[in-house]
């Protein structure tokens, strides 16, 4: 099913006409047409305008704007409007307010102030969803359903009594008996043995560290609870509006990990996500690429929708930079390069009031007579020309494993080092591979790995026996498998695998680690073959592995830091520390050479390269992430510049080329 | 009405005799006379001693001390004692305890633990006030009434249910209809549309950013609520004690902005304030001058009372420095220079126990046989000699605008930059003008600006149409108007003015800004004519303005950073960034030259200069803020050294001269 | 009474067999024998396994393991298991959960979630204790009773209503009348005068600083409440199990000061403590030595038990370093050097799950085939050889005063400097003395000081008249008494002693301080005789004291910084600032010379030296805390290397020798 009945890459964004007087609406239509907008998302936060009192619906304004959009040829992604209830609801049902870890009620006056387990909320939300689906399922503008908004942001986790009861129900489904739960949670420690289900609570504020498996299960419960809510909304819609695709917008930025999207993805008719650049990251473009490669992994390698990104500045960072001239286009095309077939923005017009009034819009406060809006129009024209590549897929020989549940467990209390942030090692390796022109698929450990020549396993702290075995089989079958420290340590119950680290991968890697020696924030340990490791080191004893490098300082001097073991037709590499970029890069070069993996194309440093391939040919994306012009080799037709390229072209600073090859 | 029936600058402070055995009182009188103390503030925290049980008053000790003070010729500023209720009150009426943003009750055991909206508290406070006024209105020692203490510190804002109800009542007075409120608050965003007044809450802890106009109105409500309380106390007093001046002590330090003192000032018979130096500030003497110039602005240019400052160290900072030898005198005279006709200290004797026992007093723990007390006596003698200048006013040609409400709005959630602190830009410009020997009046945007040659408008984020027009008229009439970035952006409802920044001042300045580019904490942007900007930059397009300087680095290279437009008889200057001191100083030199504004007198760097002028002549204050001696030109009689000065004098390190001129 | 009926230094640790399947138990016995384990602590967190429902005991597993241990010759320190109640208890009696300063309930799911004042908790705990004592008092494996665990960690302070009522009862015992309390607390300040006991509350979250004496009394109340609880448990045991020694494990690390262990110590049949190295300390070995010297002081100079330390890494620090090879042995012997006759570890096997699974154990995750376990076995062998010195005592000529109550008062709100941490100055002086080879006894100010040649009084902010007099008498009698700034300031009610600082010691020292000038974190003040002071300075006037050094910068230039006064047969030294190590070291050299105190033995820098002496001779401990080998002079038999030493030996990096002398 193709989600968007539009030509070219669908282009548009969140449209909140209820924020503006009706006199503005005709101008909106004129400017949307000028910009080439082909779709809008309507109604995300409109509940209080659609249902101003219980059961009393006001659909008139929505009818009007739907008709207006249809008349202007703009498709509608219609939201269920259930992301935030109206004030009357919270006033009538105060028990639906979420409660934080310390027991503080989270009051209305912002957004998404509802307990994910609450049945009253669910009833009201489903009623509204049903009313919308019944009313608009045949509207000619309707192209898609948009369920709620950015689930889990900001009402998860909730620690209220309703959630406590729901958590207990969830646990009774997970564990056949209390004995099983006591064993899984390790309640023999600290006198926590449960003798009745009713004794179990969410991991609220405690005197000291809360039970880590309780916390892990509570994270699972939170994700499952909202997924169940999503599925209920989806069912209401699909009964009333069959054939119209349904999605909810994920948040696949590396720093947002409240939901296990690998469990959510299969319930989406099309995977969609939001992406916002974070200025405080050391390399925000690397994070963008990682998030996109993860989103594509969630979509099973198929194209996906970018539901929201920003035209220019956001307003929720400590300091909110506007985008440089041309950056709106560059950022959008960088997403298309990695599989986005839709370019959605939050939001059409920058608000005049409210909490996001300093968030940029396609139409800025300065109005249409502005460079930013002119750039938006230019992007719309480019998006239209990209229609030919819609449906094509991104080529990649490298998989990097990502598991939200491993991340939850690794973020538990009282770990060897609080410096170890689950995403960091994976982001580092991904960044270095991208700098080498190598495209990476970010996939779940349980994904089919047979087609990959290189499989990277970064800090996969928790892993099931099955997935560990599949990773080993990939090496046996010929892949280069690269495992980093703090992988394979724990079972899915967060029990340490005994007998020497890294438990599940010890045999594959031919190493046995007796103790961890995590490093202080500014501490490094020298390596014999140059460079240094940071973050982590280990007392490693090789048991069949070849030593590639050793520590040259510190208490582990002379112990192995980097190893490789030949396994069947492949190799298993182990990083017991996190080398600096130069040393790690050299190792990755060796891995790529061993795996016969090559760059998408040759290009200067700072030029991102990705190839999409479809039935109708292939397209090479060249994105200049530097602030100077860059010469690159290319042959074909550049859909951005709308001209033929023979042999080479020069990318301007921040410029992008999309070359139809052959 | 002259508030103090004493000769010279009134000199004294808070006196808490109930903390000490009666045997100490005669020594107090002896030492007060020795120091030249002419007034004391009595009873600020005496409620639990005046009314140990509901309705049972114990005035005996107060009678005694009032008589004793009268017998020693010391005037009394009698407090209503309503700043902190006794334990019996809080125990009997626990609902009167304030509640913080997270819902935590603030318990008794400190000070001011009462909800500002509570009627029970008000009744009891007014009863005590009435009893005191009835008893003492004819006491010969009574010179003034001191209502409560440092209002809003520390019981504002309070988020309890009583305040929620009071907030709703306040909103019903502000907005004729819910539709009006919904429009003002922009509730179309995030589904916040209210359909019943009862749905509205204080901006308690929420999931994400609370509605900014709700927060702004809640700040207004808090200030209004306490002002109403103050007025009720004042009325009780004025009915029973007519003709005795009434005040409450403000806290006009730049960092304390919980109350809109511009609304409070007109209800004071005489404006009084407290001032404490903050050691962690980069230039604490500049802040002292700013706070004094603001206090004088609140007093409409007239002299004011310094109700509290400290003899030496305070005890609420992370590290509490004692004052250097001589600093007590210097600090006090610096206040007199800028309009203080009263020098009050907290407190007479340093406490032996309790939460402020390490706060310095006029009599230190070491006793009267100490250098600090000898310096206090010296100050008392100087204060007596300053009697001739009482009532004179400070000369100034420069206004700098300050608006508590603009500050509240600019401190709202999710702004372009959290680095922008409302007071900082104003403090920076004020400091540079002071270093140039130029005295500044800090006044409200609605003040009469016609007499000023220079008007500085720093980060006036929120401004009404009327005030914006008055500022433009000042330029038309000949003033040099200096506007900085992030001014004129929003209406009083915190709605962004559309069509290009800086909305309300765009036409006056002849500029149009399309986007903000705020800078990271350590980020700077080079300027063509030397130096660099920090904190802020903007994508500015001149529309009639002359460009004075341009960015020479970053994404805005070549865009205008500093501009000027001639407007009628004056000029309108715009700073789109905050230049470093040297570059900003050069610009201010140009502004002063254009406005024909000159230094009060010539003096070396680090010597503060202010002139007070009255019916009986003029007095030049010269304050040496450096740690070395400084030669200055002066002619007249130095009231500090008590000797004639001809042509010049040398100020010792930290020394002060007050020259009667002519 | 010798607590441990084992040969050699008792060696073992916490054993939690209920965490492991019974199949592991025989291996445990085999490995314990291999390692030389002579005792284990059983049942610390076993309540939920011993009493799975109210009054239903399951002792079978404990019978079994007790018998197994007995069969293997391993003595048992049997815990009362009352440290953490089972979930059924907290569910049935939710009012027993502790409440924090902000009013947040601390929920179960971690450990020690019980209100220290709760009677219901006490009843249930005493019932369990009684059942255990009745059942096991004649068991042949039973060697000791271990009451609860690490009292006060983490359930003190608790601010619930039960504690409020208990606090009031405690206050009624402390103060005869409310007037007495009002006087002690200084309630004349800030209107806090109490007129009924029921008005009094714990120092919960307040608007500003809470009353400091209220806070001090609340700390006293907390310590007393848990001591009372301990005594109740002890009585239940001693009635049922007479003759078996009873203890509870203290936490004498310098950073843990919730209990006044000086009041607790006399109620222990043998003093025991836990010690964990803190990686973020500047000198963790100095802290270890300090904590041990304090523990010995609590034990009245007699040997004590190290109930817990760690084999390698802990898991509650931000980054948890493993110990270097050999460090387990070094750390253990360093404790023996300073009086430990028992070496207990937490815990036998590293857990596989739960909150401490990454805390090291005697048997690591890697298993017995690991270097760490081999080092454990080596330590066990050494411990057995040390049997001859059991009961011997540590020699010392220097006392350093430590008072938990002075620490509480000095940590109160609104002090002159938040930079002054009670323990720091004492730790600094202790470290410099230890570097000089001088052993220090850390004792209470009320201890018998007559035998000491040097008495150090660091920041003894609060001191009673009696103890101040005893310190003066020590000087009169010939001791060198070294007092530092911020000593003698307050009475036990935290009232400032008037007339000049340092109040209680002013006369002894011959100085009078008029004001404090605490220094900013990075601020220093030069000294005339080289070096600089930090943290603190004072406006000091000598009154009979000889000036040893003066400030050479800052506002106090020329004032005395270091002084000495000859008093009777001794001297009284005063430090008005904290000199850098070099300068302070020079001063301490002078003090030691004046006191005729010499190093235990000569040794290179970084080699710790302590001598224990008993009826059967003396033993010199030499601990190499450096990472290089160190030659030292020694004659005798080295119990570690198990060989004769003649004249000298070379300590390897981190190596230890225990020389039987003569």
Distance CA A97, CA A450 (A): 47
Tokens 């405080």 sit at which residue?
Answer: A280
Distance CA B517, CA B505 (A): 19
What are the tens digits of pLDDT across the range C127-148? 999 999 999 999 999 999 999 9
Return the residue in C124, C256, C355 with the most chain A beta carbons within 10 A, the one to mutate for interface testing: C355
Q: Which residue of C has its CA nearest to B50?
A: C191
Which one of C198, C209, C514 has the shortest CB-CB distance to B364? C514
Task: Check CB contact under 8 Å for B110 and C206.
Answer: yes
- Chain C residues touching A171 at Cβ < 8 A: none
Which one of B186, B207, B521 has the shortest CB-CB distance to A106? B207
Computed over every residue of chain C, the mean pLDDT equals 97
Q: How many CA atoms lie within 13 A of C194 on its CB side?
A: 25
Helices C212-240 and C119-136, axial angle in degrees (round to 10): 30
Which one of B19, B91, B109 has the shortest CB-CB distance to C198? B91
By three-state DSSP, how is residue A176 classified? coil
Distance CA B372, CA A344 (A): 69
Please state the rounded mean pLDDT for residues B34-53. Answer: 97
The answer, yes or no, to whether residue B2 has pLDDT greater than 70, is no
The DSSP code sequence of C388-430 is GGTT-EE--SEEEE--HHHHHHHTSSS-SBTT--HHHHHHHHH
Which one of C81, C110, C353 has the shortest CB-CB distance to A208? C110
Q: Please list, in sequence order, all residues whose beta carbon lies within 8 angstroms of the beta carbon of residue C274, skipping any fewer than 6 positions away.
A: C150, C249, C250, C251, C306, C307, C308, C309, C346
Task: Check CB contact under 8 Å for A190 and C354.
Answer: yes
What are the tens digits of pLDDT across the range B136-193? 999 999 999 999 999 999 999 999 999 999 999 999 999 999 999 999 999 999 999 9
Task: Check CB contact under 8 Å for B365 and C512.
Answer: no
Active-site residue, A308 included? yes
- Dihedral pair phi/psi, residue A659, rounded to 5°: -95, 115
User: How close is the nearest chain C Cα to the Cα of B92, in Å?
Assistant: 9
Mark out the alpha helices in A541-661 (DSSP H runs). Answer: 581-595
Task: Check CB contact under 8 Å for C322 and A515.
Answer: yes
Q: How many CA atoms lie within 13 A of C293 on its CB side?
A: 30
3-state secondary structure C34-95: HHCCCEEEECCCCHHHHCCECCECCCHHHHHHHHHHHHCCCEEEEECCCCCCCHHHHHHCHH
- Check: CB of residue C117 under 8 Å from CB of residue C158: yes
What are the tens digits of pLDDT across the range C560-575? 999 999 999 999 999 9
Tokens encoding A551: 């520590």
Residue B360: band (very low, low, confident or very high) from pLDDT cuts 50, 70, 90: very high
**Which of C92, C90, C99, C91 minimizes the C-alpha distance to C117?**
C99
Which of C132-136's residues contact partners 24+ apart within 8 Å by CB, and which partners?
C132/C43, C132/C50, C132/C78, C132/C80, C132/C81, C133/C236, C133/C237, C133/C239, C133/C240, C133/C241, C134/C240, C135/C59, C136/C62, C136/C66, C136/C78, C136/C241
Return the residue in A99, A189, A535 with the most chain C beta carbons within 10 A, the one to mutate for interface testing: A189
Tokens encoding A251: 């948040």
pLDDT at A4: 65
Q: Which residue of B has its CA nearest to C198?
A: B91
Strands (E), B538-655: 538-542, 546-550, 560-567, 570-575, 578-579, 607-614, 617-624, 630-633, 636-638, 643-645, 648-651
By three-state DSSP, how is residue B307 classified? strand
- ipTM associated with this complex: 0.97
The answer, yes or no, to whether residue C327 has pLDDT greater than 70, is yes
Q: Which residue of A has its CA nearest to C54?
A: A195
Active-site position among B308, B375, B435, B538: B308
- Chain C residues touching B158 at Cβ < 8 A: none
Task: Check CB contact under 8 Å for B201 and A109.
Answer: yes
Q: Which residue of C has its CA nearest to B47?
A: C191
**Which of C328, C344, C359, C225 minimizes the C-alpha distance to C273?**
C344
Mark out the alpha helices in A506-655 (DSSP H runs). Answer: 506-509, 581-595
pLDDT at A7: 72
User: How close is the nearest chain C Cα to the Cα of A473, in Å?
Assistant: 25
- Chain A residues touching C110 at Cβ < 8 A: 190, 206-211
Distance CA B36, CA C606 (A): 62
- Check: CB of residue A78 under 8 Å from CB of residue A140: no
User: How close is the nearest chain B Cα to the Cα of A41, in Å?
Assistant: 15
Chains that touch A (3 or more CB pairs under 8 A): B, C
Distance CA B496, CA B183 (A): 13
The answer, yes or no, to whether residue B384 has pLDDT greater than 50, is yes
Please state the rounded mean pLDDT for residues B585-593. Answer: 98
Task: Check CB contact under 8 Å for B154 and C200.
Answer: no
- Check: CB of residue C345 under 8 Å from CB of residue C6: no
Residue B627: band (very low, low, confident or very high) from pLDDT cuts 50, 70, 90: very high
Distance CA A442, CA A252 (A): 11
Tokens encoding A544: 């069949």
Active-site position among A150, A233, A287, A538: A150
Distance CA A463, CA A402 (A): 11
Task: Check CB contact under 8 Å for B190 and A354.
Answer: yes
Distance CA B268, CA B145 (A): 11
Active-site residue, A476 included? no
- Chain A residues touching B534 at Cβ < 8 A: none
User: How close is the nearest chain B Cα to the Cα of A31, in Å?
Assistant: 15
Pairing of strands C249-251, C272-274: parallel
Distance CA A116, CA A122 (A): 8
pLDDT at A662: 85
- The rounded percent of chain A whose pLDDT value lies above 90 is 98
β-sheet bridge partners, residue B549: B562
Residue B546 CB burial class (10 angstroms; 0-12, 13-18, ≥19): middle
pLDDT at B1: 45
Task: Check CB contact under 8 Å for A195 and C53.
Answer: yes
Rounded to the nearest angstrom, the gap between the alpha carbon of residue C541 and the centroid of all alpha carbons in its chain is 37
Return the residue in B206, B503, B504 with the most chain A beta carbons within 10 A, the one to mutate for interface testing: B206
**Which of C147, C340, C383 minimizes the C-alpha distance to C245?**
C147
Q: Which residue of B has its CA nearest to C503?
A: B366
Catalytic positions of C, please?
150, 308
The gap between the terminal CA atoms of chain C, to the nearest Å, is 28
The answer, yes or no, to whether residue A110 has pLDDT greater than 80, is yes
Q: Which of A575-579, A610-614, C158-162, C276-280 has the lowest mean pLDDT?
A: C276-280
Distance CA A627, CA A505 (A): 43
Distance CA B447, CA A609 (A): 61
pLDDT at B5: 59
Task: Check CB contact under 8 Å for B189 and A351.
Answer: yes
The answer, yes or no, to whether residue B605 has pLDDT greater than 80, is yes
Which one of B109, B153, B351 has the shortest CB-CB distance to C206? B109
Query: In angstroms, what CA-CA distances link C130 with B143, C96, C145, C239, C317?
Result: 72, 21, 12, 9, 36
- Check: CB of residue B191 under 8 Å from CB of residue A84: yes
Which one of A186, A187, A515 has the shortest CB-CB distance to C372? A515
- Check: CB of residue B274 under 8 Å from CB of residue B309: yes
Pairing of strands A39-42, A75-79: parallel
What are the tens digits of pLDDT across the range C422-466? 999 999 999 999 999 999 999 999 999 999 999 999 999 999 999
Active-site position among A233, A308, A375, A538: A308
Task: Check CB contact under 8 Å for A325 and B555.
Answer: yes
By three-state DSSP, how is residue B47 classified? helix
Computed over every residue of chain B, the mean pLDDT equals 97
What are the tens digits of pLDDT across the range A294-337? 999 999 999 999 999 999 999 999 999 999 999 999 999 999 99
Rounded to the nearest angstrom, the gap between the alpha carbon of residue A323 and the centroid of all alpha carbons in its chain is 22
3-state secondary structure A410-427: HCCCCCCECCCCHHHHHH
Residue C3: band (very low, low, confident or very high) from pLDDT cuts 50, 70, 90: low
**Which of B603, B300, B233 minimizes the C-alpha distance to B443?**
B300
Tokens 């045949």 sit at which residue?
Answer: A138
- Check: CB of residue B471 under 8 Å from CB of residue B445: yes
Which one of C85, C318, C371 has the shortest CB-CB distance to A418? C318
Please state the rounded mean pLDDT for residues C113-121. Answer: 98
* Cis peptide bond prior to B622, omega within 30° of 0: no
Residue A133: band (very low, low, confident or very high) from pLDDT cuts 50, 70, 90: very high
Distance CA C457, CA C60 (A): 53
Tokens encoding A347: 């939001």
Q: Please list, in sequence order, all residues whose beta carbon lies within 8 angstroms of the beta carbon of residue A503, skipping any fewer than 6 positions away.
A: A488, A489, A490, A496, A497
- Chain A residues touching B521 at Cβ < 8 A: 319
- Chain C residues touching B47 at Cβ < 8 A: 191
User: How close is the nearest chain A Cα to the Cα of B537, in Å?
Assistant: 10
Q: What angle do CA B381, B384, B388 make, to 5 degrees?
A: 145
Task: Check CB contact under 8 Å for C189 and B353.
Answer: yes
Which one of C86, C320, C325 has the shortest CB-CB distance to A193? C86
* Cis peptide bond prior to B591, omega within 30° of 0: no
Pairing of strands A398-401, A440-443: parallel
Residue A558 CB burial class (10 angstroms; 0-12, 13-18, ≥19): exposed
By three-state DSSP, how is residue A167 classified? helix
Tokens 């054993």 sit at which residue?
Answer: C15
What are the tens digits of pLDDT across the range C603-639? 999 999 999 999 999 999 999 999 999 999 999 999 9
Q: How many CA atoms lie within 13 A of C506 on its CB side?
A: 17
Q: How many CA atoms lie within 13 A of A178 on its CB side?
A: 14
Residue B86: band (very low, low, confident or very high) from pLDDT cuts 50, 70, 90: very high
- Chain C residues touching A209 at Cβ < 8 A: 110, 316, 355-356
Between chain A and chain B, the number of residue pairs with CB atoms below 8 A apart is 201
The answer, yes or no, to whether residue B556 has pLDDT greater than 50, is yes
Q: How many CA atoms lie within 13 A of A445 on its CB side?
A: 27
Task: Check CB contact under 8 Å for C206 and B106.
Answer: yes
Eight-state DSSP code of residue C496: B
Active-site position among B51, B150, B233, B375: B150
What are the tens digits of pLDDT across the range C39-79? 999 999 999 999 999 999 999 999 999 999 999 999 999 99
């Amino acid at each position: 099913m193709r989600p968007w009945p539009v030509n070219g890459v669908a282009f548009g964004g969140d449209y909140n006409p209820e924020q503006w007087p009706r006199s503005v609406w005709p101008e909106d239509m004129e400017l949307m047409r000028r910009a080439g907008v082909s779709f809008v998302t309507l109604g995300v936060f409109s509940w209080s305008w659609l249902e101003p009192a219980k059961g009393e619906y006001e659909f008139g304004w929505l009818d009007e704007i739907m008709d207006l959009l249809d008349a202007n040829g703009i498709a509608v992604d219609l939201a269920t409007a259930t992301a935030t209830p109206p004030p009357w609801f919270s006033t009538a049902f105060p028990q639906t307010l979420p409660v934080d870890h310390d027991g503080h009620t989270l009051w209305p006056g912002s957004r998404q102030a509802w307990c994910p387990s609450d049945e009253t909320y669910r009833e009201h939300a489903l009623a509204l969803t049903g009313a919308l689906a019944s009313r608009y399922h045949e509207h000619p503008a309707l192209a898609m359903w948009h369920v709620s908004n950015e689930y889990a942001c900001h009402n998860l986790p909730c620690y209220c009594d309703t959630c406590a009861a729901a958590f207990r129900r969830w646990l009774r489904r997970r564990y056949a008996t209390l004995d099983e739960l006591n064993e899984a949670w390790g309640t023999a420690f600290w006198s926590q043995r449960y003798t009745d289900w009713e004794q179990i609570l969410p991991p609220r504020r405690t005197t000291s560290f809360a039970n880590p498996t309780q916390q892990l299960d509570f994270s699972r419960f939170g994700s499952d609870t909202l997924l169940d809510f999503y599925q209920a909304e989806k069912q209401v819609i699909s009964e009333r509006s069959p054939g119209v695709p349904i999605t909810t917008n994920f948040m696949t930025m590396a720093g947002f990990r409240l939901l296990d999207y690998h469990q959510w993805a299969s319930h989406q008719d099309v995977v969609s996500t939001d992406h916002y650049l974070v200025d405080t990251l050391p390399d925000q473009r690397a994070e963008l690429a990682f998030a996109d490669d993860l989103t594509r992994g969630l979509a099973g390698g198929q194209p996906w929708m970018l539901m929201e990104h920003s035209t220019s500045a956001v307003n929720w960072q400590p300091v909110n930079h506007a985008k440089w001239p041309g950056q709106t286009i560059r950022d959008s095309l960088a997403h298309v390069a990695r599989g986005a077939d839709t370019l959605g923005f939050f939001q059409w017009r920058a608000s005049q009031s409210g909490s996001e009034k300093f968030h940029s819009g396609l139409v800025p406060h300065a109005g249409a007579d502005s460079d930013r809006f002119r750039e938006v129009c230019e992007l719309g024209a480019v998006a239209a020309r990209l229609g030919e590549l819609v449906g094509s897929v991104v080529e990649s020989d490298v998989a990097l494993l990502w598991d939200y549940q491993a991340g939850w467990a690794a973020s538990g209390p009282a770990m060897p080092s609080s410096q170890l942030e689950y995403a960091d090692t994976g982001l580092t390796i991904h960044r270095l591979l991208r700098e080498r022109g190598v495209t990476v698929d970010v996939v779940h450990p349980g994904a089919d790995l047979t087609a990959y020549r290189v499989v990277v396993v970064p800090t996969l702290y928790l892993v099931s026996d099955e997935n560990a075995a599949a990773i080993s089989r990939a090496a046996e079958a010929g892949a280069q498998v690269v495992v980093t420290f703090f992988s394979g340590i724990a079972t899915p119950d967060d029990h340490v695998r005994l007998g020497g680290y890294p438990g599940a991968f010890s045999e594959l890697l031919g190493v046995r680690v007796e103790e961890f020696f995590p490093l202080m924030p500014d501490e490094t340990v020298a390596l014999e073959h140059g460079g240094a490791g940071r973050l982590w080191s280990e007392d490693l004893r090789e048991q069949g592995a070849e030593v590639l490098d050793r520590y040259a300082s510190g208490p582990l001097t002379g112990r192995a830091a980097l190893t490789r073991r030949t396994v069947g037709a492949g190799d298993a590499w182990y990083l017991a520390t996190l080398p600096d970029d130069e040393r790690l890069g050299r190792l990755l070069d060796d891995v790529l050479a061993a795996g016969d993996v090559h760059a998408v194309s040759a290009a200067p440093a700072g030029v991102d390269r990705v190839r999409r391939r479809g039935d109708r040919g292939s397209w090479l994306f060249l994105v200049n992430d530097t602030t100077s012009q860059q010469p690159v080799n290319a042959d074909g037709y550049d859909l951005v510049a709308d001209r033929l390229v023979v042999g080479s072209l020069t990318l301007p600073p921040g410029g992008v080329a999309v070359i139809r090859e052959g």
